[in-house]
Amino acid sequence: MTDQNISQHIEKLRNLLQRWNYAYHTLDKPEVPDSEYDRVFQELLDLETQFPQFISSDSPTQRVGGVPLESFSKVAHKLPMLSLNNGFTEEDLADFDRRAREKLNVETLEYTAEPKIDGLAVSIRYEQGLLIQAATRGDGSIGEDITQNVRTIKCIPLKLLKNKEIPDILEIRGEIFMSKAGFLDLNQKSERKFANPRNAAAGSIRQLDSTMTAQRPLEFICYGVGEIQNGTLPNTQFEILQTLYKWGIPIAKELQLVRDKTGCLQYYSEILKKRENLPFEIDGVVYKINNISDQVALGFVSRAPRWALAHKLPAQEKLTQLQAIEIQVGRTGVLTPVARLTPVQVGGVTVTNATLHNADFIKEKDIRINDFVNIRRAGDVIPEIVSVVLSLRSDNSEEFEFPSNCPICNSPIIQKSKFFQCTGGFSCSAQRKQSIEHFASKKAMNIDGLGEKLIEQLVDKNIIQTVADLYDLKHEQLVNLDLMGETSANNILQAIENSKKTTLGKFLFSLGINEIGETTAQILANHFETLERILNCTDLENETTNISGIGKERSKSIGTFFNNETNRQIINRLIKNGIQFEEKAISVVENNSNIAGKIFVLTGTLQSMTREQAGFKIESLGGKVSNTLSKKTHYLIVGNEAGNKIAKAEKLGVQFIDEPTFLKWLENKD
């Protein structure tokens, strides 16, 4: 046989196996017996071994895994992988439906409804129909590259079924999971016992050795798309998923089109009845407005779309006994009572404690030590006490009283409304530990490996007292700690070094300012642009009160924090120890006269990106984004469904531009 004949025969075998894979894994309709599939697979493997010049990355034989990785690299999502807002009641669903109809000015809406599979959200990128990259959701903006591992999952096509309509770049989003049967089989064969299918799936997909992942029974279901280039998809959610299905991508068999909230509730009821018999674990149902134009018009709020809702299923409840109530001290000194429980299995997880929130919660539910209580995992995640079983209350039940002194540092306790707070401040080791843990967390400075146990040792042994001390840590201080060795110590020091390059928003969030979350920290960063301007501001409370999205209470917290001399000393030490912020692209700014130095306000919904993404692009090119129109505003960017800001802009003499013009400016085109 000539090389051309061999190549053609290999391609024929690959296409045949691809078709059989699609029929088996996606259609659930096997075309041939397993023995025939195995025979053709072996024939292909033999030919590729004999003629390695014809091996290709999309061959079914390339799913066995590759060389183990040292670590996962980072992947920036071109479009953020957003989370969903949750609903727990019929009222939540009704509110969601009402808000959407009112904003769209329609009487009724069509939704897609599908099970919310309890797995790991991932993004998979195809270029020219070939699987090029896969990544975890991560924090929504940046995930981990898991391409090698995803390639081993048999139901995920390495090459999409031939179709001239496939976009040049197609990014799909979905859930990697482990079926109930696959989970049971894995736990029977494996020495390590996983708690539930989700943990098993997450652990399997994050194996550095992809040959291990290849041995795990992982599956995938697609629920949507991300970036699309040089191609179009239908204008409804349902048709998009059906199109992906034709190209070989698995979707939920339970996917349905429903009409208004009544149809949603009927679907929810049906899934609830089927829950135990479904092949996979679910924690709810997801509704999405079917029309894509309506989705664009509704847009997003914070990190979630306004056009989708996760309707959570009722959590499984179990009865157990409350053995004791202990106090945890948070980073702001607030005392949180925690119930210590007789261990009980709830939803596949062993629950040993549950938060009691505050004094009012304990009083309202009349919770006492030694009571028998009903436990559930709220949203199938957070353990909580639903009720006390009064009929089982014994004579030895004890009412709980908050201590008058902190159980950690013995400082006096003060009461603020329904909360009790330690007055010890940073002299309280519990508050120090919590502050350092928050500082090192993923959404803050992202110091990988610096977890609760290690921080506890560092504080208890008086190795560190503030977050600034992290950057003075030495190898010899780490290497002799529990569960630490040469490699672990080096990894921690490298992670600390890597954290020195960050953004101003993440840095402000990491400081743990009371009531200042991730979004508010970014608003502060956008307004002041540099840390120096914040530190040099003579009246921060008054200055920040006028910033849209902050308000009086948060402004007071900001002013109090930065007026504290100890806090300023810690910040100065951090800067001296090498913390630096990513600078704006000055070289680009100088060439982009349309954006550099200009103040922009956005209104309405953009087709090509979210308003948050547009804001980041403007700021990266030297512009500034404001929420408030004024005479200082240079341009109003107008999207679809624009509000009354256009009329206000006209009165103020502010020029407004449409989305196509804005996109040209981003590309530095006049």
- Distance between CA atoms of 194 and 191, rounded to whole angstroms? 10
Percent of the chain with pLDDT over 70: 91
- At residue 311, does pLDDT exceed 50? yes
Query: Is 68 part of any domain?
Result: no
What's the CATH code of the domain at 23? 1.10.287.610
Characterize the bridge pairing of strands 419-422 and 413-416: antiparallel
- Distance between CA atoms of 145 and 133, rounded to whole angstroms? 7
Determine whether 116 is an active site residue. yes
Query: Is 70 part of any domain?
Result: no
- At residue 587, does pLDDT exceed 60? no
- At residue 589, does pLDDT exceed 60? no
Query: Is 125 part of any domain?
Result: yes
- Distance between CA atoms of 180 and 198, rounded to whole angstroms? 10
- Both ends of the chain: CA-CA distance in Å? 59
Provide the pLDDT for residue 516.
86
* Other residues' Cβ atoms within 10 Å of the Cβ of residue 559: 18
Distance set, CA 498 to CA 447, 458, 503, 580 (Å): 8, 20, 13, 11
295/318: higher pLDDT: 295
Provide the pLDDT for residue 324.
96
Verify that 526 and 564 share a domain, yes or no.
yes
Verify that 23 and 90 share a domain, yes or no.
no
Provide the pLDDT for residue 300.
84
What's the CATH code of the domain at 394? 2.40.50.140
- Distance between CA atoms of 228 and 292, rounded to whole angstroms? 14
What's the CATH code of the domain at 220? 3.30.470.30
- At residue 380, does pLDDT exceed 70? no
Average pLDDT taken over every residue of the chain = 86
Rounded to a whole number, what is the largest CA-CA distance in the chain?
Answer: 90
What's the CATH code of the domain at 523? 1.10.150.20
DSSP code for 22: I
Domain's final residue, options 403, 421, 439 = 421
Query: Is 103 part of any domain?
Result: yes
Provide the pLDDT for residue 419.
87
Verify that 333 and 475 share a domain, yes or no.
no
Residues contacting residue 538 through CB under 8 Å, at least 6 positions apart: none
Query: Is 80 part of any domain?
Result: no
DSSP code for 463: S
Residue 592's pLDDT band (cuts 50, 70, 90): low
Q: Which of 39-43, 147-151, 203-207, 554-558 has the highest mean pLDDT?
A: 147-151
φ/ψ of 143, rounded to 5, equals -120, -170
Verify that 348 and 401 share a domain, yes or no.
yes
- At residue 591, does pLDDT exceed 60? no
- Helices (DSSP H) in 168-215: which residue ranges? 180-189, 197-205, 210-214
Query: Is 301 part of any domain?
Result: yes
| 337-373 residue pLDDT tens | 999 999 998 866 789 999 898 899 999 999 999 999 9
Query: Is 516 part of any domain?
Result: yes
Token pair, residue 552, equals 């009086």
Provide the pLDDT for residue 536.
93
Query: Is 123 part of any domain?
Result: yes
| 231-252 residue pLDDT tens | 999 999 999 999 999 999 999 9
| 517-551 residue pLDDT tens | 887 888 888 889 899 999 999 899 988 887 766 77
| 158-183 residue pLDDT tens | 999 877 789 999 999 999 999 999 99
Token pair, residue 20, equals 């059989």
Look at residues 154, 167, 177 and name the one whose alpha carbon lies nearest to residue 252. Answer: 177
- Distance between CA atoms of 438 and 451, rounded to whole angstroms? 10
583 within 8 A of 479, measured Cβ to Cβ: no
Report the pLDDT averaged over residues 463-484.
92
Out of 116, 261, 312, 624, pick the active-site residue.
116
Verify that 252 and 348 share a domain, yes or no.
no
- At residue 307, does pLDDT exceed 80? yes
Between CA 14 and CA 20, with CA 17 as vertex, the angle to 5 degrees is 150
Burial category of 189 from C-beta neighbours within 10 Å (exposed 0-12, middle 13-18, buried 19 and up): exposed
Verify that 32 and 123 share a domain, yes or no.
no
Verify that 204 and 294 share a domain, yes or no.
yes
- Distance between CA atoms of 426 and 406, rounded to whole angstroms? 13
Among 130-134, 138-142, 260-264, 582-586, the least confident range? 582-586
- At residue 34, does pLDDT exceed 70? no
- Tell how far CA 170 is from the center of its chain: 21
387/623: higher pLDDT: 387
Verify that 602 and 634 share a domain, yes or no.
yes
Domain's final residue, options 458, 478, 499 = 499
Residues contacting residue 631 through CB under 8 Å, at least 6 positions apart: 652, 653, 654
Provide the domain limits for residue 461.
428-499
- Distance between CA atoms of 146 and 134, rounded to whole angstroms? 5
Between CA 64 and CA 72, with CA 69 as vertex, the angle to 5 degrees is 110
- Distance between CA atoms of 387 and 398, rounded to whole angstroms? 16
DSSP secondary structure letters along 354-373: EE--SHHHHHHHT--BT-EE
Verify that 146 and 267 share a domain, yes or no.
yes
Provide the pLDDT for residue 80.
86
Q: Which helix (H) or strand (E) holds 312?
A: strand 308-312
Verify that 563 and 438 share a domain, yes or no.
no
Among 141-145, 522-526, 594-598, the least confident range? 594-598
Token pair, residue 565, equals 């001399």
429-440 and 452-460 helices, crossing angle to 10°: 140
Verify that 415 and 460 share a domain, yes or no.
no
What's the CATH code of the domain at 614? 3.40.50.10190
Q: How many domains does the chain have?
A: 6
Report the pLDDT averaged over residues 209-232.
93
Verify that 597 and 510 share a domain, yes or no.
no
Domain's final residue, options 312, 345, 380 = 312
